[in-house]
A and B are shown apart, each in its own frame.
Chain A
Amino acid sequence: MAIGIKDKVAIIGMGCTRFGELWDKNAEDLIVDAFVECLEDAGIEKKEIQAAWWGCHFDQINYGKAAVPLSTTLKLPFIPVTRVENWCATGTEALRGACYAVGSGAYDIVLALGAEKLKDTGYAGLPGGGNLSQLNAMIRPNYTAPAGFALMATNYMAKYKISFAELKRALAHISVKSHANGFLNPKAHLRLPLTEEEVVNAPMVAWPLGLYDCCGVSDGAAAAIVTTPEIARSLKKDFVMVKAIQISVTSGEEERYNRWDGSYVMTSTQAAKWAYQEAGIRNPRKELSLMELHDCFSITELSTCEDLGISPRGKAMKDIMDGFFDLDGKLPAQTDGGLKCFGHPIGASGLRMLYEIYNQLLGRAGKRQLINPRLGLTHNLGGLPSGSVSSVAIFGREER
């Protein structure tokens, strides 16, 4: 019987560009920048890479389809390269492919790289159109991403009988915390501290979510090189072990079947259960050291704290207001600033989160460094609460 990926794969190198409105960078520059840092960190040569996984979501903007954008940009010598796309879990999906390739024994050293160059659309928010099935293009309402998540906020308020003002206050704490962390991070896009007043009073984007309830939109890329634990040990001392990578994909139930109550995310809940099982975690609230959650919107971070079993259902607001997830809290979340401050170049985000976990576990997180973290979690939520793809991955230092 399958036992999962735990302790079968090691991450020996990582790279991540600065995220932001990189007006002077082409899409290909992002790939090269992330790769160069990653290769240098791993301490290997390009020719040692035997296979690669490439993640990019909006192929209609800049990169185009297939795996060729990665292979030709990096001049990879005719090795197998696979392109993956799975909404906002794309970066983690690339890592998953690379880890499975090593874990299966098919390859020794594999690259996972995700990138997105979003800021060539000419407008705010994610690009629209061209991204739906023909039927959905005909029948879906006129919506954008923040609105899709705002729907969950109305369900959350209705279910727990929370007023608009109470919810806004808790959501504001989430964004203020992330901006405080992002302010300390030179690679973050948005580096300005915010007050709760500023967040609460920001213009409405999709009721009840205001401007500062929404993450930025940025260009960026991140990469990881993975190998077997044996090779990792032979190469270096500082590497990180993969403890779990799980993905859950909707069956369509939330959108079409009258059972889901709208106040949480089914796929995140499922992926977390499987990931804890794979990693052997019994009490995530106590055992995890830090989390990089998919805070595309503040309401998403709130519900994710419950979906991952950290806070009981309906109680995340209390933990949030108590500072449980702050940098000096019991279980810090978004220590690098999160999607809130990094923005969300879709294909890169999962690997960007891992970059923070990796640096924290190896004691390289600078002003944001936590004391002796053991286990870190990354979470991605693609699509919308009413129909999503979620990934939960867990990483740790090797127990010696």
Chain B
Amino acid sequence: MVGIISYGGYIPRYRLSRKMIFKAMGWFNPGTATHAQGEKAVANFDEDSITMATSAAIDSLKGMDRSKMEGLYFASTTMPYKERLNAGIIATALNLPATVRSSDFDHALKAGTTALISAVETVEAGRAKRMLVCAADSRLGKMGTVQEMIFGDGAAAFVVGDVDVIAEFKGSFSLSYDFVDHYRGEMSKYDRTWEERWIRDEGIHKFIPEAIEGLLKKYALKLSDFEKILYPCPFAAEHKKIAKELGLGVEKNQRTMVDEIGDTGTAHPLIMLIKALEDAKPEQKILLVSFGNGCDAIFFEVTEKINGLKPRKGVRGHLEEKREMTSYEKYLVFRGLGLADMGLRSEEDIWTRWSFLWRNRKTIFGLVGNRCMKCGTPHYPPQRICINPDCGAIDQMEEYTFADKKGYIFNYTGDMLAASFDPPAIHGQIDFEGGGRYWFDFTDCNLDNLKVGLPVEMSLRKRYYDNRRDIHGYFWKAIPGKASD
């Protein structure tokens, strides 16, 4: 039996109210009023598709032996790098073995489901026992557009394998159409889209039913065999219309969550799948369809093992942690749509030296330190000579990972002088459970609610963007626990 053995979700903390967007930009495009309901998930200024996918992957790997992972597929249409394997950065951040087969799946919104099918097929073919699939998107819409209203940010991750399967992969059916509802050329940052009515009537309305019917026919199934039917659709009325025409009741037709988090692109069907798995019961059949230059329809059957899945944040846990984005202007600055003056201090060059990064890849991207085998003292960054003044052992170290360790705030401050997208820049020293101490940026928190001793979790974030050389740099930040915001 091959299928999903674990899942992990990630929805960034901030929600931007669409009414707030309309209040700011409705004068410019009154037509966006029809979309001005609900809210969308917005990545913090230090998040992108790589960091969100990494967070979802960490959630999916709870309690798993990472050294057994044999592959990593990453899907996104907003890859920070056009050339340089984006999945490679995630694999390093997760400290996966170098022997993983890794690949980026991109260029279409259905890339997330395609990556999932490919991982399943790799395991089915007997070429790997365990594969990690993650998908994330953080798409930008220009100010005053429908895209700005609709696009949300998020990520999903699945571990695919052949033991302890919680949702068996039973089959799939795919369609490929060069249907250009939107596209982004090599030189562009923003999508160019065609008329909404045409996308709806000639695209979504035709392809999704075609994919569903294709799968049913291929496996001789009826729609009534399925407990849940999931297909993303950014237009609420269209989503309902398709359900009605297929004869789906409300209980089977799963909500798209576009009103809660927006359309999260390649991650979206996978986020919907996690949401469905979060309250699925054994033997239930789930049908998942993606849309984007065609469709993938996938058919899962939930197993008994789902009851034994270790607790995790998933999608539900992240939805519970949401915080309001307090202004539209803040959103513009965070996402680089508005140009706030960061001052001369921000112009200091940060040199990315690739040979250095290669030597120190585990230290920087993986938050891997070492531990003295003589006295047990953990070190970050790794040391050759033990920091314990009563030990001082030389070259008796073993690798030690801090990324998965809980920490506590040792001290903290809010720095108004440091150049930041979200002043004050909050940082402080963290004492790790089990030993070790280092000084980190804090993120997703509010200075007013911090205290010495509060627990923190570590999260991979974008540390800098070098605009002269088009380099995205990554490092880990501390996220103070719930009590802090």
Contacts and interface: CB of A to CB of B under 8 A. Distances in A.
B473 interface: yes
B418 A154 contact: no
A146 B387 contact: no
Contact of B411 (A123, A154, A251, A258): A154
Interface residues of B, number: 51
B349 to A, nearest CB: 7
A129 B349 contact: yes
B344 interface: yes
Contacts of A158: 411, 452-453
Interface stretch (B115-123, B131-139, B356-364): B356-364
A138 B417 contact: no
Contacts of A258: 431, 435-437
Given A128-B348, A155-B452, A255 B417 contact: no
Interface centre among B357, B413, B416, by most chain A C-beta atoms within 10 angstroms, is B413
Given A204-B414, A206-B415, A135 B424 contact: no
A142 B387 contact: no
A130 B349 CA distance: 8
A140 interface: yes
A203 B344 CA distance: 21
A371 interface: no
B411 A137 contact: no
Interface stretch (B141-149, B230-238, B377-385): B377-385
A138 B364 contact: yes
B439 A255 contact: yes
Contact of B345 (A128, A152, A153, A262): A128
A104 interface: no
A265 to B, nearest CB: 14
A206 B419 contact: no
A87 B381 CA distance: 22
B311 interface: no
Nearest to B452: A158
Interface string B82-112: 0000000000000000000000000000000
A253 B344 CA distance: 33
A248 to B, nearest CB: 14
B379 A256 contact: yes
B429 A151 contact: yes
B425 A141 contact: yes
A356 B427 CA distance: 37
A17 B440 CA distance: 39
Contact of B360 (A130, A135, A207, A262): A135
Interface in B46-87: none
A256 B437 contact: yes
A252 B387 contact: yes
Contact of B417 (A129, A130, A154, A206): A206
Contacts of A140: 439
A143 interface: yes
B413 A141 contact: no
A61 interface: no
Interface string A125-145: 100111000110111111110
A150 B387 contact: no
B475 A138 contact: yes
B468 interface: no
Given A151-B411, A204-B414, A262-B411, A255 B420 contact: no
A207 B437 contact: no
A135 B382 CA distance: 11
Contacts of A366: none
A69 B350 CA distance: 27
11 contacts: A129-B349, A139-B475, A142-B420, A142-B441, A143-B418, A147-B415, A154-B452, A204-B416, A251-B387, A257-B377, A262-B410
Interface of A: 121-125, 128-130, 134-135, 137-144, 146-147, 150-155, 158, 203-209, 251-253, 255-258, 262, 386
Interface of B: 343-345, 348-351, 353, 356-357, 360, 363-364, 377, 379-381, 383, 387-389, 410-420, 424-425, 427-429, 431, 435-441, 447, 452-453, 463, 473, 475
Report, nearest first, the 3 A-B pairs whose CB atoms are least far apart.
A129-B348, A147-B415, A150-B413
